[in-house]
Structure formats: C-alpha cells, structure tokens
Amino acid sequence: MENVVTISGMFGVDKTYFADSPVVINISGLEWPENSPFNVVRLEVLYNDSVVGNLNADSGGQSSISFDVSTALRAIWMDYEFGNEVAAAQRALSAATGQSAQRLMRTYKLRIHTEYLSDDEDRTFVSNTCVDSLGNEEIPGGQCLIGRMTEWERSLIANDADADVSSLEHTGVRNGDASTKPISSPERVGCDSITSWTDVSTGLTKSIFYPSDATPEHDDTPSSQQGWTGHAPIVVRDSEPYTDFLFVNRRGALETCSAQMLESMNVNVSTKQHSLVGRPSFKPSRTLTSITQEERRSWKMSSGLQTREWAEWWAFEFLTARRWWMLYKGRFVPVIVEPASSSTGIYDLTKQQMPSVEFNVTLALEG
C-alpha cells in the first residue's frame, strides 16, 4: 500500500538550517497493520543522489515519529574547505570595490521506508517506500549551512517550524545572515580591514568581502552599486596600528576583525645537543652538534578598548573559534590564538573604563 506522509516540525521546504545544530523533523501519517509485532521506520538523507545518513527506529505502531538528522547534515560538509573563502578575502584586500564569492547552501532530500509484518496468515515481511502529498518518493528537503545556533538563540525562537537561519529577529543579532558581529555600536578597524556576511534571508548564497574604505553605513537599503544589503556595521577608523584577522565563527562563516599589535614579539626556539662519535681509532674522539626545533613567532595582541557588547563578541566568538588566519606580510596565514590569561574580564562596574580583550597569537607555520 502507498503511504502518504507529511513532514513538519523543525523542517520544511525552503528552510535553511545550521548543520551543527539539532534539526528535528516529524514524520506523520504513518500507517501500520493492527497486529504487527514491529513497525520500523527507516529514514535516508540524500545529497547529490548519495545516501549520507541512514536512521531507523521502531514507531511502536504510532502514526508519527521524530528524527534528528543533524548527523547526516554534518556529513554533507565533510569535503568543504575554507581555503576558497580565505583566498577571496585576500583578493578583496587589493580590490578597488567590493568583491563577492560564493558560499554554498547545500540542499538535501529524504527517502522514507516502513517495514512490518503483514496481518495475513502468512505473516510476510513488507517494505514500503513512503511518498509526500505530490507523490515524490524522494521528498524535497531543506538547505543547510556549516555552523550552529547557540541554545540561547534557539530558545528565543517561539515556533519550531520557524527555526531556520532567517528567523533571528532579536536584539543584537544581525537579521538573516551568518555573521555574529554586534550592530549596536561601531566596529573599530584599521586601514585594511574587511567585513563579510552571508545573506540567507533572501535566498542568496554569497559572502561579500570588501575593503573598509568601501563599507556602507548600516541600513536596510540595498546598494545598487555594490549589490549588498547593508548588513555591515558602521566602521570607525583608528590611528593605532592594527592587524587583520579572518576566523570561522560559530555559524560557519568567515568573520573579520582588527586587533591592536602590542609592542611584543617572541620567537620560540629550542635546541638539543647530540653526541657524534667519530670513526674508530686508537684514540677515541667525540664531538657535539645542536639541532634547532620549533621556530615559531608569537605576538601579544589586544582587541583595543571596546564596548561591553563588542568585548563579549571578542571573548565568545574570536577567542573560542577553531580556525584563524592573520594578515602577515601581505598574506593570510594560519595562526593559533590563545587567551592571554585563564580568565578574561568583560566588564567591572567598580571601574570607569572600557574593557579590552588580550590574547597571544602564534604562527601555525614553522620558519
């Protein structure tokens, strides 16, 4: 028999989800014989006609069942490299105008099977492929991006059916994009800073990288000349020497920031001494040699004086990222960022001063 099912919950056509967040879907309309000892639902998640996830559960004879498909969505992005986005940002630094680069949202489908024992005398094994209301065996799914939403963001979404990227409408979060930068106050940058965002509220799949001297003020009016929608915060120049960084935020997008270079650079060099025994002779001889290892440059840096909201962004986004690149001698190179101390102070109401976040940066390349 043909089983027509309905997909609901945190899922739907034209929805966009973060692959690292729980994505729970509900399958309803399941039909079972009355006396079957088991009623199994098998769910396949397909990407480019390949099965990237295979989940199954016993429905207990119920007409609906829920699955979390986030493990399968993460598998869709196993082959993704951020190198192309970093290269696009590098090109934008020397571009006279804004430059866009594709940032993919990958689309997936579902295939649902039911398995049970028939209620006739033979008790034969029956396997059915379910269809949607349009008769599709491969049921259209949604789209997914690399990244995740915090539990706080998820809790602010009142309706699970609206829990996609484009429904972030509370204060302090940039609507409809994958950036996490505050918009309540200006962003302080150096001379070569760039800003990036991914607009998914309009179905676009582009990240925009552009030099800070081309940055528009934050508004909701699309720019006819540059083709972006004005999500970037207001940029404030600073006469202090700054260094530009790219990093991957929790929503899987490249973010940029400019940090103050403190007057400190260290080189970590270690040597080991080894004994070299000469050729056999009547008079044994031995010499020593040293081998240099782990030559790495490191710097002490600071976010500079920030508002409380920007200081929180530096602490909870930049310091907790997993991948960073620093503009070093004209190229973005991979680095390691570590907090300057085990505890980072965000604000102190007993002091009348703006906070700053300090950290250490080490080249992830040798030499």
CATH code of 69's domain = 2.60.40
Residues 117 and 196 in one domain: no
Residues 284 and 214 in one domain: yes
pLDDT along the chain (367 residues), means of 10: 80 74 89 86 94 94 92 91 82 63 78 88 84 91 83 67 52 54 79 63 55 46 38 68 88 85 59 66 65 72 86 90 90 90 64 79 81
Residues 130 and 237 in one domain: no
Residues 192 and 112 in one domain: no
Residues 131 and 189 in one domain: no
Residues 183 and 314 in one domain: yes
In a domain, 155, yes or no: no
SS (H, E, C) the chain: CCCECEEEECCCCCCEEECCCCCEEEEECCCCCCCCCCEEEEEEEEECCEEEEEEEEECCCCCEEEEECHHHHHHHCCCCCCHHHHHHHHHHHCCCCCEEEECCCEEEEEEEEEEEECCCCCCCEEEEECECCCCCCCEEEEEEECCCCCHHHHHCCCCHHHCCHHHCCCCCCCCCECCCCCCCCCEEECCCCEECCEECCCCCCEEEEEEHHHCCCCCCCCCCCCCCCCCCCCEEECCCCEEEEEEECCCCCEEEEEEEEEEEEEEEEEEEEEEEECCCCCCCCEEEEEEEEEEEEEEEEECCCCCHHHHHHHHHHHCCCCCEEEEECCEEEEEEEEECCCCCCCCCCCCCCCCCCEEEEEECCCC
The predicted pLDDT at position 59 comes to: 92
Residues 50 and 136 in one domain: yes
Residues 177 and 321 in one domain: yes
Residues 347 and 319 in one domain: yes
The predicted pLDDT at position 251 comes to: 83
Domain that includes residue 17, residue range: 6-81+106-148
In a domain, 309, yes or no: yes
Q: What is the pTM of this model?
A: 0.75
Residues 73 and 197 in one domain: no
In a domain, 157, yes or no: no
In a domain, 153, yes or no: no
Residues 118 and 260 in one domain: no
Residues 211 and 358 in one domain: yes
The predicted pLDDT at position 220 comes to: 38
In a domain, 177, yes or no: yes
In a domain, 89, yes or no: no
Instruction: Give me the number of domains the chain comprises.
Output: 2
The predicted pLDDT at position 350 comes to: 60
